[in-house]
Amino acid sequence: MPTQPHKYAVFVSGRGSNLKAILDAHAEGRLSHLPSLVITDNAQAYALEYARQYGVETLFIDPKAHKGRKAFAAYTLEELRRRGIDTICLAGFMRIVDGLLVEAFRNRIINIHPSLLPLFPGLDAQKQAVDVGAKESGCSVHFVDEGVDTGLVILQAKVALEEGETAETLSKKILAHEHRIYPIVIQALLEDRIRLADGRAVIVEKGE
């Protein structure tokens, strides 16, 4: 029996440039599947425009309509299960994901973060790097676990900080790499090409 292809949802809260990179990667043949669903906690998120342009279903889940993080997660889980979605990609989703969702999607939920984790987790990662005078920073795609930006790193890209670097210039430089590496990891996840061994996550080639 052929196994069912994985179905994934992208979670967004705002601008949506990473979502756009994912959708573009599909249009350009670098990603085999479109997301089955885009979920947002912000009805005004510009990201929703991109989803609509590509005909991807969107779902706004209002945090105010659910009492607490667990209730929000339980409702989200129901909506994902109803659609047979087994993979989650957080792309600028500015809300801590409850352990309920993490547990249900263990090793099938990933996030992109604008620093070389474990450095500069949490908010304003680019400003954190500038403020300590870091010589380099970058971005990381990692599995989501119960902590904040603490899950196993899958892929990273580095950028150098130059003289006069600001959080804005650094963000822009890092973002170009985010857009490049996120579709690579998503494709690997869709093809079950991320191997977990000895406390490391490694992307392998097809057939390896």
- CB nearer to ligand GAR: pick between 107 and 150: 150
Letters for 141-180 (x = contact with ligand GAR by CB under 6 A, - = none) are ----------------------------------x--x--
Does position 98 interact with ligand GAR (CB under 6 A)? The reply is no
- CB nearer to ligand GAR: pick between 2 and 187: 187
* Region for residue 15 given its phi and psi (left: phi exceeds 0; alpha: psi -120 to 50; beta: otherwise): alpha
179 catalytic residue (yes or no): no
Among 8, 9, 114, 144, contact with ligand GAR (rule: CB under 6 A): 114
CB 113 → ligand GAR: shortest distance, Å? 5
**Sign of the dihedral through C-alpha 71, 117, 33, 7:** negative
- Active-site entry in 6, 113, 142, 179: 113
CB 3 → ligand GAR: shortest distance, Å? 30
Distance CA 159, CA 196 (A): 26
Does position 14 interact with ligand GAR (CB under 6 A)? The reply is yes
Does position 17 interact with ligand GAR (CB under 6 A)? The reply is yes
Question: Residues with catalytic annotation?
Answer: 113
